Structure 1
Amino acid sequence: MKKFHTKRLLTSSVLATFASVGAANATGYVDDEAGFGFELLLGGMVGQQQSQFDTDDDNAVTQDLNNSGNKSSGVSPAVLAELNYTFANKKTQIFLGQQEENIVRGQDQVELGITQMVGEYSQLELAYFPKLPGFSETWQDPYLTGSARQKTDADSSGFRVAWRYLFDTPLTLRYGFAAADIENERSGQAFGLDANEQKLMQRDGKYHRISAEILAYDEDGFTVTPQLTYTKADTDGDAMAFDAYAFGLETTYSFAERHFTSIYINYAKRDYKGRNPIFNQTQGDDDFGINAIYGYAQPFDFENTSVYLMASYDKGDSNIEFYQSKSLGLLMGVAYEF
């Protein structure tokens, strides 16, 4: 059975849900108890996607550049984990694992970081994520036609900082930085581009993201949080560099003590910097995504345990058909907190 290659669409949303629950329960301490803690989610995902950058074997060959790739579907295990240590004052915590941020490029990252309470609700958080070989893949030359495209690692490393509930207000500010490296970058070689044109297609570079969100409503277990995000991709190739502007809206609802729901809707617009020499025009993208999550705490009265069900849909439109994409996924999992 084929593996589902778009797990980031699901796992990042589940982690964001964990973060939302934690933020909503903030009471002047970063955690209720001092000492070590461990959170683990085990589950499975099933989904389908269509993208020229999907590295599924069924998508290795494209006959031309006037389509958005072959559809691929399959299943994959979901394993999310975080180890943390809370100091005796319960205002400082260090952590290692997968956090809710998907840092600039939308990928799950394994991070090492620290969270510090700086007010009754206000938190400062700093995290670093290293390069992990094999964690993410792409095609060496996505524009090769008629033959199987070869995979290569797409590594990134960087850091993020967040100030949640700034000065004990509903405002949260975030900044993330990532340096991206395509191990064997050969974009445009098979198309016959000259050296200068190939340089325009280089995907290595630096990514910056700034976001602001505000807890606009929080009553009777229901919250509404709008978010604005700006991302700058400063890549080696001008055709791949872009400025992106996004608006997101998250609503959560907790009821009957054990039930939790979350819906997150996001729209993003990307404006690219330079002309794409393969398609002879400048790329422009519009992305839409929606994630819906249901969680149930303490099933069968098992303490520190929750079950989750999540559905995810993402659609990327572009003025160049090659860059259009679509994905749909479903995750079921059991989370346990030690």
Structure 2
Amino acid sequence: MKKFNLAVLAATISTGVGAGELAKPGFSGELMAMAGFSSTESNFNTETESKVGLLNTEAESQTEAILAPLGQVRYTFGRSSHHQVFLGTSREDIAVGDFVLEAGYKFGLGTNSSIAASYLPSVAGETWKDPFVTGKREVADISSSAVRLKYENILDSAFSVDLGYYTSEVNGENSGASLNSGSAINQLDRDGNGLYAKFSYTHSLNQTSIIEPSFTYKSFSADGEAMSNNVYGTELSYKKFTKRHLFALSASYSKTNYDSENVVFGKTQNNNTYDVFAAYEYDKFMGWENWALNGIAGYEVTSSNINFYNEKELMLGVGMSYKF
């Protein structure tokens, strides 16, 4: 799933740094801990040990508690504070529900523009070695990594672009083995690499709120032709600052088209995904300097022409963050 990872709200209001400065010189950042729960309906959720009933049916709902840390550490330097190295999860990403751990370098130029290059290290997860099995299934590790280039406020304009290249690998990939067909295994191989592009425009409604429409495109080239796909999406985000309160609300839609027929189900997969995500931050909670109360809520639905790939996810969380 793309979204619903623990988040804090992005502070989009100016913090008083000078033209071209990325931040005040030295170390800065935020650290956060959040607790919550998620409810998931997905045939790829490894918390459900067995697939019950017919294969081409939706998954049963599974609920689990979540407790995890988040944050980012930055070091700003240079004569005009135009240089910055960073490690962690950026507030801008997680304000709309995206969780990406990255390490990189950012360079400020012009009045408001900046260019950042980063590496997103391999993050391990779990999936099924062969998801097309009824009864008990075998778990496999899945890992992915990426490189990213982000140009914010291009030439001091309101336009930004975010580009990426990523790889994904399933350890012991064995999709389709239950069909006893070598050709099926080859067509369903999920290992591969992809490209990502996001184009956005930021419009200030007033001194305390902004709206940001964006368009995304993803292309994934899998070793198995039936798993290769193209994704076209759009997103609209609204962010509001009032006194010590910060709000962010985003909604998105994406269409995923696969390249060839899935031999398990006898048709080419097509998905439609809708999601909404909200985040809230109460700065200086209880009068505590540098501390904030955070809350998030998100809901995502994927509707596919193959019932097996239908998914739903609900996530709620609350936590505290410390800024320095």
**TM-score range for the pair, normalised by the shorter chain length:** over 0.9
Please name the residue that 1:3 is paired with.
none
The RMSD of aligned alpha carbons is 2.1
Q: Secondary structure at the match of 1:90?
A: coil
**Equivalent residue for 2:134, pick from 120, 145, 150:** 145
Partners of 2:160 and 2:29 lie apart in 1 by 25
1:204 paired to 2:191: yes
- Please give the alpha-carbon distance, in whole angstroms, between the structure 1 residues aligned to 2:267 and 2:58: 17
Q: Which amino acid aligns with 1:297?
A: D
Count residues in correspondence.
320
Q: SS at the partner of 1:138?
A: strand
Higher strand share: 2
Could you tell me which residue of structure 1 aligns to residue 157 of structure 2? 169
Aligned partner of 1:84 in structure 2 is 74
Give deviations 1:196-241, integer Å, cap 9, x for gaps: 2211101111111111000133413111100000110111111111
Aligned to 2:309: 323
Amino acid at match of 2:249: I
Match of 2:89 in 1: 98
CA distance in 1, matches of 2:62, 2:28: 38
Question: Are 2:52 and 1:62 equivalent residues in the alignment?
Answer: yes
Distance 2:263 2:294 in 1: 45
Structure 1 position 31, deviation (Å): 4.0
Aligned-pair distance for 1:59? 4.5
After superposition, what is the alpha-carbon deviation per residue over 1:281-335, rounded to whole angstroms, capped at 9, x for unaligned? 0000000000011111001221111111111000000000000000111010111
The answer to whether the 8 A contact 1:247-1:267 is kept is: yes
1:9 aligned residue (1, 4, 17): 4
Q: What TM-score comes out, normalization by structure 1 length?
A: 0.89
- Structure 1 stretches lacking a partner, 5+ long: 1-5
| Aligned-partner Cα distance in 2 for 1:211–1:109 | 15
- Aligned mates of 1:181, 1:142 — CA distance in 2: 15
Contact 2:43-2:309 at 8 Å conserved across structures: yes
Q: Deviations over 1:88-146 (max 9, x none)?
A: 4321110112236879xx973432101110111001011002224xx311111111112
Which residue does the alignment assign to 2:105? 114
SS at match of 2:168: strand
> In the superposition, relative to structure 1, how do residues 98 and 39 fare at CA in structure 2: closer, same or farther (>3 Å)?
same
Q: How does 1:15-54 map to 2 (within 5 A)?
A: 17-18=9-10, 21-22=11-12, 25=15, 27-54=18-45
The 1:101/1:22 distance shift into structure 2, 3 A limit, reads closer
Length-normalised TM-score, structure 2? 0.93
Matched residue, 2:272: 286
The yes-or-no answer on 1:260 pairing with 2:255 is no
User: In the alignment, is the contact (CA less than 8 A) between 1:59 and 1:69 conserved in 2?
Assistant: no
| 3-state SS of 1:203 partner | coil
